[in-house]
Chains A and B, each alone.
Chain A
Amino acid sequence: MKRTVLIPLAVAMIASVAAPLRAERLKVVTTYPYIASIVEQIAKDTVRVDALARGDYDPHTIVPKPSFIAKLRKAHLLIINGAQLEIGWLPPLLKQANNASVNPGTRGFLDLSGHVTLIDVPKSVSRAQGDVHPDGNPHYYIDPHVIPRLARAICTKLSEVDSRNAAMYKKNYDEFAARWKAKRASWDAKLRRLKGAKVIQYHKNMDYLLIRYGLVRMGTVEPLPGIPPTSKHIAELEKIFESNTIRFILQDVYNADDSSRHLSKKFGVKMVKVPHDVGAVREAEGIFSLFDEMVRRLTQ
C-alpha cells in the first residue's frame, strides 16, 4: 500500500526537478532593444532575450535598476553594441553582477562593434578635440546595410554557445537575411532619392546612414557630443542655414529639441524626429519596423 503511493510520488518528484532543467532556455541579455530584436529573429522562442536599456532613452546614460544585475547574473550570453556606447553604465553593472560566463572576452560575450568598420576613429584621443569615443562613432547600426552582418555575428555566437540548435539558428538567419534583403531594396530606393540633400543633426548618431545614402552632413546642433547648444554655436549654425539649403534637421527622441525647433521655425526647415532604436517611437516595434519608420519619416 505504502509503496504504491511512494513510487508515483518519487517519480513525480524526480520529474518536477528534471523538467525545469530540460526546459531551461538559453538566457540572452542585450544592452539595447535593437539587438534583442535581431536575436529574436535568429532564435525565435528557443532563447529568452532581455534588453537592459529602453529604446526611448539616451543610450549613453542609462539609470541602473536592481533587475539589470539580476538579469546579468542569470545570463548565458551578453550581446552589446560596443564601441564605448555602453561605457557610461555597463561596466559597474557587469562588475556587480559578477557573472564570469558573460564577461568581456569570454565565450558568453559578444561585442557587435567588432564586426563592423567604424568611422571617426580618432588618431589621438584628447578631451580638447571633443572626442571621448576612442573607438570611433558607435552609432553604426543605423545603416540598414550593417544589420545582416550583425545578425550573422549573432547567429554564429548563438550556435557556439548552444550548438544543439545551430542548424535552426542558421535556417532562421538565412530567412532573416532574405527578408532583410527584400526590405532593404525598397529602403534603398527611397533613401537614394535623398542623395545630396544637406542635413543638420542634433547628435552625430545618423552618420552611418547619411554617408551610406550620400546625404551631406552640414553640422550638429550640439557644439560637442553630449554638450547642450550654446548661443555662439547656434549663431554659427544660423550662418550655415543662411547660405545653404538645408533639407532637414534630424533630432533624436531623448535630447531637448528646443534649439532644433528654434532653427526649424526660423529657417522653415523641417525637423524630423528619427527613432534611433526599437521602442524609440511607438511605430518602431522591431528591427524591421524601426527601419520602416525611420525611412518613412525621412521620406514623407
Chain B
Amino acid sequence: MSDILITAFALSVVLVGIHAFFGTEIIRRGIIFTDLAIGQMAALGAAASLFFIDGQFVYPISLGFALAGGLLIAWASRHTDNLEAFIGLMYAFGISAVYIILSKSAHGMEEFQRLMASDILFTPQEEVVKTAIIYAVLGVVLFALYRRIDGFWKDALFFVSFAVTVTSSVKLAGVLIVFALLVAPALIAIRVGGGRPLVVAWIVGTLVNLVAIALAHRFDFPTGYTIVFCNALLALLVTIIPRRAKRG
C-alpha cells in the first residue's frame, strides 16, 4: 500500500514545486482564476476531441485550446481593465461549452471526467518521474528568463508555460487539486510573510500534503479531496487568524 501513497505524495510535491511559483505570481497579479479558465479551455479541447473525432489527439488538442486561452489572457491583461471579469467569463464559457457538446453523447460526461482528471491515487510512478523532469526543466527556463525579459514577452512566457503546466497537471491530478496546490501554499506563504515566499510555499505545501495523504489513508477518505480540503482549510485559517503585530 505504501508505494501508492508514496507515489501520490511524490506527485503532490512535484506539483507544489512548480505551482507554488505560478501561485505566488497569479496572486501578485490578481488573476487567481486564470488556472481554472485555462484548465477549462483544455477541458473544452478534450471534449471537442472526444465528441468530434472519437477522442483522438486529446492531449495536443487540449493543449492547443489551453495555449489559446493563455495567450488570450496575456493579450487581455494589456488591453482591458476588467481582467478578472474576462478570465471568469472564459471559465464560464469553457464549462458551458463542454456541457453543450457532451449533452449529445451518452455517458459522455463520465468518460470525459475520467479523461480530464484521473485520480491522484492512480498516477503511475513513471508519470511522476516524467512530470518531475519536465517541470524541473520548465522551472530552470523560467528562473533563467523570467527576470530578464519584460513587457509582452514576459507575459507571453508566463501564460504559455502556465498553460502547458496546468494542462498536464490537471490530466494527472484533477482540476481541483491543481487549483488548491496552486493557490493555497502560495497564499499561506504570502500571509506568513518572510523574504522567500516560494520556499515557504514549498515547505508548507509538502507538509500539508504529507498530513493529508496520511489522513486519507488512516480514515479511508478519497485522497484527492483530502489534499484539497487540508490545503484549503489551512489557507483559510491562516487568512482568518489575525497576524500578530510585528512591532515591538
Determine whether A165 belongs to the interface, using a CB cutoff of 8 Å to chain B: no
Are the CB atoms of A127 and B51 closer together than 8 Å? yes
Bound Cα distance A92, B172 (Å): 13
Nearest-neighbor residue (CB-CB) of B218 within chain A: A66
Q: Which of A173-181, A221-229, A263-271 contacts B (4 or more CB under 8 A)?
A: A221-229
Q: Residues 80-123 of chain B: 1 if any A CB is under 8 Å from the residue's CB, otherwise 0?
A: 00000000000000000000001111111111011000110110
**Is residue A128 contacting chain B, with contact meaning CB distance below 8 A?**
yes
Tell me if A's interface is mostly helix, strand, loop or mixed.
loop
Interface membership of A119, Cβ < 8 A: no
CA distance A73 to B2 in the complex (A): 12
Tell me whether A66 and B106 are in contact in the complex, defined as CB-CB below 8 angstroms, given that A92-B118, A92-B122, A93-B122 are known contacts. Answer: no
Query: Given A63-B222, A66-B121, A92-B118, do A127 and B4 touch, yes or no (CB 8 Å)?
Result: no
Q: Which residue of B1, B104, B109, B110 is within 8 Å of A66 (Cβ)?
A: B1
B154: interface (CB < 8 Å): no
Q: How far is the CA of A106 from the CA of B51 in the complex (A)?
A: 34
Bound-state CA distance A66–B5 (Å) is 8
- CB B229 to nearest CB in A, in angstroms, measures 14
Is B126 an interface residue when CB atoms closer than 8 A count as contact? no
Q: Distance (Å) between the CB of B100 and the closest chain A CB? A: 11
Contact of B1 among A70, A93, A224, A226 (CB under 8 A): A70
B103 touches A230 (CB 8 A): yes
Contact B104 A88, beta carbon cutoff 8 Å: no
Q: Is B216 close to A, CB under 8 A?
A: yes
Smallest CB separation, B165 vs chain A (Å): 23
Nearest to B102 among chain A residues (CB) is: A227
Please name all residues of chain A whose beta carbon is closer than 8 Å to the beta carbon of B4 when the two chains form the complex.
66, 69, 96
Nearest CB on B from A252, distance (A): 15
Q: Which residues of B contact A60 (CB under 8 A)?
A: 107, 110
Question: Among B102, B111, B122, B220, which residue has its beta carbon within 8 angstroms of that of A88?
Answer: B111
Asked whether A61 and B110 contact (CB < 8 A) given A127-B51, A127-B105, the answer is yes
Is there contact, CB below 8 Å, between A66 and B223? Answer: yes
B106 touches A131 (CB 8 A): yes
List A residues at the B interface (Cβ < 8 Å): 60-61, 63-67, 69-70, 73, 88, 92-93, 95-96, 127-128, 130-133, 223-227, 230
A-B pairs, top 9 by smallest CB distance, nearest first, are A226-B107, A92-B122, A130-B106, A224-B106, A225-B106, A67-B220, A132-B107, A127-B105, A88-B110
Instruction: Identify 20 residue pairs between A and B in the complex whose beta-carbon atoms are under 8 Å apart, listed by A's number.
Output: A65-B216, A66-B1, A66-B5, A66-B217, A66-B220, A69-B1, A73-B1, A88-B107, A88-B114, A96-B121, A96-B122, A127-B54, A128-B104, A132-B105, A132-B106, A132-B108, A223-B103, A225-B107, A227-B102, A230-B103
